[in-house]
Every structure is written in structure tokens, then in C-alpha cells.
Structure 1
């Protein structure tokens, strides 16, 4: 599925309800991995996963090989969410009021997601026996 934009909605901390749209931003490759986005207390939360079901051995291999440091190097907080069926991460960063700056930040994030997922999937090819032995 092709994505052309990400809409960031403000989420009420008390009720969990989405309150209002903070912005709609043009994005390109990488957004197809994003599963959920919202802003709470001026912090943007973006969840993403592999966009496909993975085998048990792949779950561990992806976790071990995913380049979380590339996100941190670009100013994003990242954490692995281990209670999901497929490998899932949460990215957090401060909301930027300037539309152009926010769109640029999201473009960088989408590129990192795409490179991270696709690079990791390539890196684990042929390594099934290594991870099945664990």
C-alpha cells in the first residue's frame, strides 16, 4: 500500500481520545511500516513494525540486527515493544510547530524505518539455522 501522508492527532492523556489534528504531512517510502501515530504532551509517538508476519526465528534475528542506533543518532528515542506478535518499535520525539521542519523530520524518520526494516530483512536471509539453534 502506498502512503502519501501522515496525520498527527493530539491524544488526551486522561481519556485516550484523539482530540484534534495537529498536522498532515507528506511522506514517501517507509511510511508503509507505520501502524499508529499520535501526539501526547507535545511528544509524537510513532509505532512501526515489519508489515508482515514473521517466523519465530526471524523475530529474534530481526531484534538482534535492527539498527536502533541510527534512530538515536538522528535524535529519535526508540524502544522495542516486545508484547506484539511481530517485531514492533515505538519512536518518540518532540512535536515541531513549524510545518516544514516537522515534515522534514518525518521524512528522515520514514527513510530510517525503510532502511532499517529492509536492511535487517536482507541481513538475516540464510541465517535460519543460526537462530533456530538458540
Structure 2
């Protein structure tokens, strides 16, 4: 079942069980997906749905840090709940050792040797690790691997 179909099924289940908060978050996800479909005139694949979810997760994390800094625990709690629902749809995150193994494999595949090859290496890694790793961490590890 595609992620898009899974979201529709989860929305129906949340409606039936009366989970209003969860239903609201799932509706937000579906609205973001529909908006991307309309704006870009594309059929949403699982990879594109993952990209939308990752963007929403990043937005929630930014909001949480800003609300915490402003002392708005009530709003931060809402964002944390939404973040929990969003992260449930993302694949399990890879640990640093698994990311390093993927970097080593991509390095061998592309023949990358120095910092000038970072773009080439990230171009190979991004589709492989989408949704499974924080790309900021991947970028740091790639820089370290290419520097030494």
C-alpha cells in the first residue's frame, strides 16, 4: 500500500475512533500532499510523500525550539504531538555506523576522493538515505570522509 493510501486509511480510522487531534494532523499531511500535487502537477510517489513529511517534521522542530525559547509550553506541546504523528510515518532512522557504511559504498561507487567531489557524493546519497537519515549529519560525515 502506498503512503498516500495509508494516510487515507489512517484518516478514516481516526474519524471512526474519534481521535480529533490525530485526525487534524493527518488532514494537514494530506493537505500538504494535495498542495504539492496541484502546484507541481505531479502524481505523488512514496519518495515525494516522504519529502513532504520531512519538510513538515523540520517545520515542527523549528517551531518547538522557538516556542521553548519564548516560554510558550502550551504551543510547544501541540507541535510535539504533531511531530510524533508525523514521525510515525517516516521510516526508521539509520544510526551513524549505517550512514558511514552508505557513505563508504557511495565513495567507492563514485570514486570520490576529495572535497571537490562532495556534490557528486551527496547526489548519490540523498535518494538512498531520504527519510532514513538527517541530511545535515550525512553532510558532516561526508565532509569528514572526504577531508581525511
TM-score (norm 1): 0.28
* Structure with more helix by fraction: 2
**Greater relative contact order structure (CA < 8 Å, 6+ sep):** 1
TM-score (norm 2): 0.26
* Structure with more strand by fraction: 1
Instruction: Work out which of the two has the higher radius of gyration on C-alpha atoms and give 1 or 2.
Output: 2
